[in-house]
Structure 1
Amino acid sequence: MTIVRRWLDRILRALCIVLFAALVLLVVWQVFTRLVLGQPSAWSEEAARYTFVWASMIGIAIAVGEKADVVMDFLVEKLPRTAQRVVDILAYLTVLAFAAYVMVYGGIKQAALAWQQTNPLLPFTQGQLYLALPISGALLIFYLVLHIAHALSRGYAGREGFHEDPEAATA
């Protein structure tokens, strides 16, 4: 499973870099056509919007996979390791339920409803563009299952906490 995760991490990071580079190019093109040519490009604004959504959704999956998402765990750190394990698993299960129901199930329904709806500016249907939600939801579920498996394993060390260096904060 570690090899699969490592490959998935690499692919998602590369995809996010490509999407972000495309976003920068699309926005630069939009600014150039608007300010220099005096005729704004309609398709580049729409493409930038969807590129931003896709990059954000993939980025969320990467952040959850690396446990770099926003967590307020100052209370959890004070609990004994067994209670920390329970709280972690409950938190992961809650996010997993949200990802499964809202992102995957709801995203598939929304994409299916809009699958035949053409986009007047891009060569994709709206349903194809909406696939960002169920795909990122499935990626989230994958990473959350790995986190739950780790929390249930003997190697679970609990939360050690991040203690900021006061001198570095004032520098």
Structure 2
Amino acid sequence: MKQFEHVLHTIDRSLRVLLAIMLTLLVVDVTWQVLTRFVLPQPSSFTEEVARFLLIWISLLGGAYAYREHSHLGFDLIVRNLSVAKAKIVFQLCCLLVAIFAITVLIIGGLNLVLLTWTLGQHSAVLNVPMAAVYLVLPLSGLLFLLYSIYFFFNAPNHSIEQEDII
């Protein structure tokens, strides 16, 4: 389990850096888009597509990172009134549901979408980037959600659960 925690810690660090870089690129891209549209006579043609693709990647990877940090919104009114043992069971059930969603929708569905767009040879209109590369974030974020769910599921009984950690 120590090795799994070390791997997750490495993934967390890498994910933080990647998200910071992508967010910085998004800010620079949108700033350039505004400058070229309103200051320069010729608007930039690629900035809107870059911003859209960065936003997709930031949203999905950021969602996985927020799940890792227990930063998602949660409805904890019911859980507050449960005993610690029952709260742990609810927490583990939520981890199981997240894992099922990650496997079925994000990983399997995402891989099917990546395969379909790769087979059809779909490319973006302006940048001519394969859409399979853009959609690759779906199974990648699904894998992150799955790894974090597995970690939370098996570590829930080993620590006391704070109200913010549940759901």
- Report the TM-score when normalising by structure 2: 0.90
Which residue in the other structure is 2:8 paired with? Answer: 5
In terms of fraction of residues, the more helix-rich structure is 2
Which residue in the other structure is 1:22 paired with? Answer: 25
Moved over 2 A (4+): 158-162
SS at match of 1:75: helix
Contact 2:70 2:164 in 1 (8 A): no
**Unaligned 5+ residue runs, structure 1?**
163-171
1:132 aligned partner, one-letter code? V
- 1:59 and 1:127 mapped to 2: Cα distance? 20
Between Structure 1 and Structure 2, whose CA radius of gyration is higher?
Answer: 1
How far has the Cα of 1:6 moved from its partner? Answer: 1.3
Which residue in the other structure is 2:98 paired with? Answer: 95
Which residue in the other structure is 1:39 paired with? Answer: 42
Tell me whether 1:117 sits opposite 2:126 in the alignment. no
Q: Residue 131 of structure 2 is aligned with which of 126, 140, 145?
A: 126
How far has the Cα of 1:93 moved from its partner? Answer: 0.9
Q: What number of residue pairs does the alignment pair up?
A: 160
- 2:164 and 2:28 mapped to 1: Cα distance? 40
1:120 aligned partner, one-letter code? A
Larger RCO (CA under 8 A, 6+ residues apart): 2
1:140 aligned partner, one-letter code? F
How far has the Cα of 1:161 moved from its partner? Answer: 5.5
Contact 1:77 1:161 in 2 (8 A): no
- Report the TM-score when normalising by structure 1: 0.88
Contact 2:122 2:130 in 1 (8 A): yes
How far has the Cα of 1:77 moved from its partner? Answer: 2.0
1:101 aligned partner, one-letter code? T
Contact 1:84 1:159 in 2 (8 A): no
Which residue in the other structure is 2:148 paired with? Answer: 143
C-alpha RMSD over aligned residues? 1.5
- 1:141 and 1:76 mapped to 2: Cα distance? 23
Farther-moved stretch of structure 1 (81-90 vs 22-31): 81-90
Which residue in the other structure is 1:107 paired with? Answer: 110
Which residue in the other structure is 1:85 paired with? Answer: 88
